[in-house]
Amino acid sequence: MAVPSGIRPPHPLNLKDAPVEGWKIFIQSWKNYAIITDMASRDNNYQKAMFLHCIGTAALRVFNTFSLPVVAQLKDIIKKFEAYILGETNETFERYKFNKRNQGEHESIDQALEASKSQLKEMEPSVSQATESLNKVAFKVKGSHPEKSSFTKSTCKFCGGDHPFVKSKCPAYGRNCGNCGGRDHFAKVCKTKGPRTKRKTDNKVRNIEAESSTDSNLD
């Protein structure tokens, strides 16, 4: 059967960046390609030749290291690749790469997290391991800081106390200052110095007048 026009073979297998994800994409594309081209109607040698042609030079070098009989079926070759890419040794290497990974210099936070999630898929850890690893990602990403809440407690410049930075929580809100008479702040944080000095002077004058009046009465 001739290959339908416009149907291209799968892209070569990418073993460099994310081999597990690359393998899954390649084998999915290959199965679709095999159905469209009626690959099952071809003999075993043709199927193997087409598969190895599509898989690319880098993967072909890997294939050449396999110990397979000449009469091996295509399914045997696929199993060998799966064992090589998804095997325990590869998972250990992927864990090593994940633990060493940091946010790139020109990489955004979202891009770094997405790349880390992709690496987690490579390792296929348990749910608990994945949760622990994702928690580590947040600390590994440079420049990621928790957003500051508007309800964080801090020293208030209107009352001098500590409370959430919300107007309704300030005890000075709606009150008059004992120093300048202004609203919404207390005298202890008042920046107006004049009235306080004047009030002290007035108090001294009244005290002197009161003392003089007392002395006159005694006479």
pLDDT tens, residue by residue, 48-88: 999 999 999 999 999 999 999 988 999 999 999 999 988 75
Q: What is the pLDDT of residue 152?
A: 58
pLDDT beyond 60 at 218: no
| Mean pLDDT estimate for the chain | 75
Exposed, middle or buried, 107 (CB in 10 Å: 0-12/13-18/19+)?
Answer: middle
Q: What is the pLDDT of residue 158?
A: 87
pLDDT beyond 60 at 95: yes
Neighbours of 120 (CB within 10 A): 18
Structural contact between residues 116 and 139, judged by C-beta atoms closer than 8 angstroms: no
Q: Which residues contact 138 (CB under 8 A, 6 or more apart)?
A: 144
Domain ranges of the chain: 19-86, 89-100+111-140, 153-218
Q: Which residue has the higher pLDDT, 163 or 13?
A: 13
Cα atoms in the 13 Å half-sphere on the side-chain side of 130: 11
